[in-house]
Chain A
Amino acid sequence: MTLTRFVSKSAFRNKRRSILTVLSITFSLLLLTVMMTVWHRFYLDKGDAQSAQRLITRHRVSLTQNMPVYYREKMRTVRGVVAVAPTQWFGGLYKDEKPENFFAQFGTDPAEIFTVMTDFKIPDDQLAAWQHDQAGCVVDSELAKKFGWKIGDRIILKGTIFPVNLELTIRGIFVAPQPSITVYFNQKYVEEAVSFAKGRSGTFNILADSPEDVPKVAAGVDAMFRNSPEPTKTESEKAFQLSFINSMGNVKAFILSICFAVVFATLLVSANTMAMSIRERTREVAVLKTLGFTQQSILKLYIGEAVLVALTGGALGCLLAAGLVVVLANAPGMGFFFLGMRVTTPTFLLAIFVSAMVGLLSAIVPAYHAAKLDIVEGLRYIG
């Protein structure tokens, strides 16, 4: 019998206990992995290279203030600016106010928006069809899948900010690298129906020369309008999105505290099991020592055992988490929170590492006691 086999045999000798411990760790790690996935998506995901090349300009005062649409032409003169498209949040209702029917609706310029959004792919003929129909729109492929939309379908967006109901015909379906839950339509439609919308835009999407140029472009654009009555604030696309997440509250602290509680609880469970299982085997330890096992090898044996149990739980938890995230991403009524989320390899590895550490830490104290055990005392032990 090899040492590895000995460890795995003893790890699962009390089947019921091992299974319960594994299951307990599985559920904790499941939660931890999901939380880490959310964290990863919000704070670590830098987006693809093309997103890093884009900026968003808004009114300095706040997102709800509009800017004159002629800013767009002035922005083109800033060094490093390749393309600019205006985007105006429409915020209309599709069907009803239910969160599952919520998606982003932007009025924009069909001629340039896809020049800026370089990573959004749309067939040329569909783009041309949209550009020719002022009452047309293009929709995100994931969104089309969710609502079962096809090209030629009509959707009605009930205006809340602008007093107009848009009757749009879907002219194209675009594929975004990450689901964007967005519908784009021609802002002219709104401008012709609502006088106060004329000549104004809520945001501008800018494509820069290269990701390195982004800070310079941001500074350049803001400097241009600093002393105008309507100054701007320009930031990278990622920074802009992050400010939205931050507006949901202190998400960071929220996730961190849950992760901390979960890891600590797992540690307790695992430590409990190891303490029980090592105490039960006091006499066995004495026998092992009599046979010539050193303190160190006994320490290793028990730690190995705990790590094995924790790893089994961790691996199961990760697998379940991957499944759960997929379910959440596609669940109806979830809105957009989990849309397009998936468990990434680094997250997997981190979760596995955490479970191994939990096993290690939980076994140290009881294993140390076992290793230090006096042989005679141990043999006398009656449990």
Chain B
Amino acid sequence: MAIPISYNIRNLKLRKGLTIMTALGIALTVTTAVFLMALLAGLKKAFMSSGDPVNVLVMRTGSVAELSGGFDASLFPTLKTLPGIAKDGQGEPLASGEWVVVVVLPRKDGTGEVNVSVRGLMPAGLTLRPGAKLVEGRWFTPGQREVVVGQSIHNRFSGANVGDNLDFAKGQWKVVGVFDSGGTAYDSELWGDVNQIAADFDRQGAFASVYLRATDPVAADALKHRVADDQRLKLEGTLETDYYEKQTSSGGVIKFIGTVVAVIMAIGSSFAAMNTMYAAVAYRSKEIATLRIIGFSRPSILTSFVIEALLLSLLGAVVGIVLILPFNGMSTGIGNQLTFSETVFSLHVTWGVAMTAVIFALIMGLLGGFAPAWHAARQDILTSLRA
């Protein structure tokens, strides 16, 4: 017969101080782990949702990022007339020649300067990114020194409000609008007219990339191959989704360090939990012997103590997750090795993260609880009663 769980709960309550301290220890470990996982989840979200499966990004063969070099603008008309490209209301193909450059902006909180991406695009570039919605002001006017800023830029940098002037490259740029692309990588960019940007950065007559919007995902795939197959072009097409997915690799270091940190902390906490459980067993050796006499079997004693350890760690997990919740949605930036600039993303405590945290804590509880429970179950009844 199994020992009721209420017995374990009452025991945990009885030794409040010990329970709270052990649970807090586990909670801190869980908090750290959740923090790191939430960071990764947020990063993934920013990059994964950035691409549009029907957009094809064309760059020079060998380029791994939009920042690295460009190709002659004379190729643009050829690209524009490829079959499979969607048309806008006027029957014009949705294709945009673009430049991405990096500028340095001061952070709002005064903690230094950060590299930020500036994208120059054609009006069609706005149409083929329906995910980007204007939340304030208006879009830039072609031919003017105007920029619209992404939501994250607007929040994190000074002088990025509508009506402000930003000083970069060859002079002042007027901020005329703020756009929101739903937490994607675009939110960390400034957008302006491609010709103006190219002129300011001495890059006229070329494009770093061309975006083509296909009629559907199948056409996008065909378009991608068509670009690569044309030997004269020396260009390569990538699905926008694939391009951004590759950029998630900048989270690799966080992921590695996060895993090491979480595992080491978990080992430490498991030892602490083991200590607590051994003490719990030692205090209750008479009780355990009595339970055995009443007729509870060794397996049920074992199970009972393991459950107690699991309850303890579950409490820790809950406290740990609660501790991190105030930070949910907090945004931070990460440098991107491919673009040299900062992508802003927010801490994202998803259900998946929370569930992983609970499982993580339960494993700690199991590791810490099994040996003491085994010890409890193996106790000699007579010696324990006499002690």
Contacts and interface: CB of A to CB of B under 8 A. Distances in A.
Interface string A74-109: 000000000000000001010001010000000000
B333 A249 contact: yes
Contact of A272 (B18, B104, B332, B341): B18
B284 to A, nearest CB: 12
Interface in B342-385: 342
A27 B22 contact: no
Given A61-B169, A272-B276, A276-B18, A265 B64 contact: no
Interface stretch (A13-21, A168-176, A206-214, A350-358): A13-21
B31 A63 contact: no
Interface in B96-123: 101-104, 111-115
Interface in B267-290: 267-269, 271-272, 274-276, 278-279
Contacts of B61: 163
Contacts of A44: none
B32 A258 contact: yes
A163 B60 contact: yes
A268 to B, nearest CB: 4
A60 B282 CA distance: 69
A345 interface: no
A327 to B, nearest CB: 11
A249 B332 contact: yes
Contacts of B103: 61-62
A272 B272 contact: yes
A379 interface: no
Contact of B25 (A93, A258, A269): A269
Interface stretch (A119-127, A153-161, A179-187, A219-227): A153-161
Interface residues of B, number: 57
A2 interface: no
Contacts of A250: 111, 332-333
B335 A31 contact: no
B271 A23 contact: yes
Nearest to A269: B272
B21 A17 contact: no
Interface in B45-99: 60-65, 67-69
B279 A17 contact: yes
A24 B104 contact: no
Contacts of B341: 247
A297 interface: no
A359 to B, nearest CB: 15
B114 A247 contact: yes
B340 interface: yes
A248 B269 contact: no
B268 A27 contact: yes
B22 A64 contact: no
Contacts of A27: 264-265, 267-268, 271
A266 B268 CA distance: 8
Contacts of A64: 67, 101-102, 340
Given A28-B265, A272-B22, A20 B32 contact: no
Contacts of B62: 158-160, 163
A272 B275 contact: yes
Nearest to A266: B268
Contacts of A23: 268, 271
Interface string A49-80: 00000000000011111000000000000000
Contacts of A97: 64
Contacts of A160: 62-65, 68-69
Given A24-B269, A28-B265, A268-B24, A273 B32 contact: no
Interface centre among B114, B279, B340 (most CB of A within 10 A): B279
Contacts of B60: 163
Given A17-B275, A17-B279, A161 B69 contact: yes
Interface centre among A27, A30, A99, A335 (most CB of B within 10 A): A27
A271 B275 CA distance: 12
Interface of A: 16-17, 20-21, 23-28, 30-31, 61-65, 91, 93, 97, 99, 158-163, 196, 229, 243-244, 246-250, 257-258, 261-262, 264-266, 268-269, 271-273, 275-276, 334-335, 337
5 contacts: A23-B268, A23-B271, A160-B63, A268-B24, A275-B21
Given A25-B268, A248-B253, 10 more contacts: A20-B274, A28-B264, A61-B201, A63-B340, A65-B101, A160-B64, A160-B65, A249-B342, A250-B333, A262-B265
